[in-house]
Amino acid sequence: MNVDGFLTAGKPRFSSGKAASMTIGNSPERARLYTHQFPGAHSKTQVEGAIELSIKATPVAASQSRTMTIEVTVDNSRTGHSMPSGSADLRLLWLEVAAQIGNSRLTLPAGAAGSEVTTNSISRSIAGYGNFDTWLVGPEIPKGSRVYRAIFADAKGQATLNSYDAVSKLFDNRLKSAAKRKESYQFTIPEGVRGDFLIEATLKYLPYPSIFTDRLGLPKPEAVIVAQKKIELHAR
C-alpha cells in the first residue's frame, strides 16, 4: 500500500513487498493485460431491450364504456439485477404512456398523478411530484411519468446527486431482479373520436439527469429507449 496516500515526485512509495522494489520501466512484460474498466449497464447497447413491456386494455364497466383501464407490465426478468443499476444516485428509468389518436397525442399520468399526491412513497415514484424533484429531475422526464429510481440524502436530510455526500437512502423503487411491475392507467376516449387509435408505452433510461450535467457544465445526456410496446384499439 502506498504509505503516503498520494504520489511523491510522480510515484507511489511502498514500505515493503515486491511493489517497493519495482519502478516504472522495469515492470515485467505480459502477453495479456487485464483491466477493471468494464462497460457497465449504462452503456446504450446493454440497456436497449434489457426489459420487456406488455399492455392490456380493459373497459371499466360495460363493453360500451369509453373509459378503460390500461395495464402496463414492466418485466425485469432479463437483467439479473436491479434496474437502474450502477450509480443508483444518478440513474433514472421511467415509463411514458400515451394515446395516439390521429395526429393528437394524449399523455396518460401515472397512478395518483391526476389527483392530489399526499404521501412521499407515491410522490417520489411519479416524476415532478416529489418534494426534491425541482433539482433532481430534468426536463427530459415528463411530469406524471412513473419513475424508477433511488434517492439519497446528505447529513442534513436533503436529497443529493453527489454520492460522496450521501449518508442515507430516502427512497428506492427500482425494479428488482426478475420483478414484474404492473402499472395501471385510466383513459377515457374523447367524445367524437371514432375508429382505430393506439396506446403506446415507452420505457426510457438516463445515466444521469441534465440538471446534474448543467451544474457541471457538461454535455446533456441522451435518453435511451429501453423498450416500447403499442396496442391498437377501436372506438365506436
Give me 164's grid cell: 460522496
Distance from chain centroid for Cα 147: 6
How far apart are alpha carbons 116 and 71 in whole angstroms? Answer: 21
Please name each of the domains of the chain with its CATH number. 18-235 (2.60.40.150)
pLDDT at 39 over 50: no
- pLDDT attached to residue 231: 96
Average pLDDT, the chain: 84
Higher pLDDT, 130 or 210: 210
What are the backbone dihedrals phi and psi of residue 114, each rounded to the nearest 5 degrees, phi first? -75, -10
Tell me what the mean pLDDT of segment 203-230 comes to.
93
pLDDT tens per residue across span 59-76: 877 656 788 999 999 999
Tell me what the mean pLDDT of segment 127-132 comes to.
87
How far apart are alpha carbons 40 and 84 in whole angstroms? Answer: 11
| 166: Cα within 13 Å, side-chain hemisphere | 16
pLDDT tens per residue across span 147-202: 999 999 999 999 999 888 999 999 999 999 999 999 999 999 988 888 999 999 99
Tell me what the mean pLDDT of segment 196-214 comes to.
94
- pLDDT attached to residue 235: 86
Higher pLDDT, 144 or 135: 144
DSSP-based three-state secondary structure for 190: coil
Question: Which residue matches cell numbers 411519468?
Answer: 145
pTM for the structure as a whole: 0.78
114-131: buried (b, 16+ CB within 10 Å) or exposed (e) per residue?
Answer: eeebeeeeebbbbbbbbe
- pLDDT attached to residue 210: 92
